[in-house]
Amino acid sequence: MSQHTKVAPPTGLEETDSVTLTRFVLHEQRKHPESQGDLTLLLTSVQLACKVTDSCVRKAGIAKLYGLAGGGNVSGDLQQKLDVISNETFKVNIESSQKVAVMVSEEEELPIVVEKHNRGKYGIAFDPLDGSSNIDSNVTIGSIFSIFHLPDAEDIHTTDDAARQIMQPGRKIVAAGYAMYGSATNLVLSFGNGVHGFTLDPSLGEFVLTHPNIRIPRRGKIYSVNEGNCKNWDKSVAQYIHSLKFPSEGKSPYSLRYIGSMVADVHRTLLYGGIFCYPADKKNPNGKLRLLYEGAPMAFIMEQAGGKASTGTENILDIQPHSIHQRTPVFMGSYEDVCDLESFCKSTS
């Protein structure tokens, strides 16, 4: 900075016009005169669930919330105590909004059908605590959700009815987002017209707009993948990762950054560019990440930010789910990086 550059002193007015998440959502609602405010109320319940989950994560060590709960989830992972707490938190708060008819959670084998007197027209799928295996080591974790408009919420009588109505391709997502519980608590959200990031201000107890209109770089310099699984990868994925590490003469190799928490790895990719990879392999031929509440909402956000998300051969948002816990391979990030990956998949298919 030049010695002649003058920096304006803080006036104390910087915080007087903070755009909170509630204010932002209400502003978006006014763009649609036909709107009845149902989505606004639903998102208010989602952000409250994220705040409660964040509070539990922050005091987990003191309140003895670390460790296993003693059961398992539908992924076969051992449930942590915070998995159970966050799942109940999301279910109770979202149902209380009276704006959903169906909820799908990673922690529940079957869809949750809301009683008729409490129903709305939406369905929501969520991973209440992504990356929970990292809880005890204080690594960044998060929550992911996708919201769908249901064709006929009143005609849902069984869990099969609920599953059929919420199993929609990502293109039909109404809103998607994720919360990240790290050095700060962030909530990143998209309604299908861009991506916006909010940060929880502890002094206000409100999410405040800090990252308006997030755009991912067209190409990045970082790749994110668990290379411990490389011996089980398809040839195309192995060749692509090798090309990033050993590029042609004159090009710089990509840097590897991998946390092991999808929310944290995708958030970094969204801000800095590059590619996040969780490919199918010999152990998980259909991939490991879940489509409805991990792959699709993150793909929706990534595409809205100018990026791309693919299975290697198909856009993730175009997949028609056939089960609520369906798995999918995931490659997402900068548009050109994902296109490069797809070209490797096509050339070896």
Give the ranges where the chain is alpha helix by DSSP (H).
Answer: 21-30, 38-58, 81-96, 159-166, 235-245, 262-272, 296-304, 335-348
Choose, from 28, 54, 95, 130, the residue flagged as catalytic: 130
Choose, from 28, 54, 83, 303, the residue flagged as catalytic: 83
83 is catalytic: yes
Choose, from 54, 95, 107, 337, the residue flagged as catalytic: 107
Q: How many CB atoms lie within 10 A of CB 298?
A: 30
Choose, from 21, 39, 43, 129, the residue flagged as catalytic: 129
Say how far residue 4 (Cα) sits from the centre of its chain: 45
Q: Are 79 and 73 in contact (CB under 8 A)?
A: yes
Q: From residue 256, how far is each of 246, 298, 334, 346 by CA, in Å? A: 12, 20, 15, 24
Choose, from 95, 234, 281, 294, the residue flagged as catalytic: 294
Choose, from 28, 54, 95, 106, the residue flagged as catalytic: 106
130 is catalytic: yes
Q: Are 120 and 38 in contact (CB under 8 A)?
A: yes
Query: In a 3-state reduction of DSSP, which class is residue 80?
Result: strand
Q: Could you say which DSSP state residue 76 is in?
A: S
In whole angstroms, what is the distance from residue 138 CA to residue 252 CA? 33
127 is catalytic: yes
Supply the DSSP string of 164-225, one letter for each residue. Answer: HHH---GGGEEEEEEEEESSSEEEEEESSS--EEEEEETTTTEEEEEE-S----SS-SEEE-
Which residues, in sequence order, are CB contacts of 85 under 8 Å at separation 6+?
Answer: 53, 56, 65
Q: Give the HSE-up count for residue 212: Cα atoms under 13 Å, Cβ half-sphere.
A: 7
34 is catalytic: no
129 is catalytic: yes
Choose, from 15, 68, 77, 318, the residue flagged as catalytic: 77
Choose, from 54, 95, 127, 206, the residue flagged as catalytic: 127
Helices 81-96 and 38-58, packing angle to 10 deg: 160
Hey, CA dihedral for 124, 130, 132, 133, is it positive or negative?
Answer: positive
Q: Which residues are catalytic?
A: 77, 83, 106-107, 127, 129-130, 294
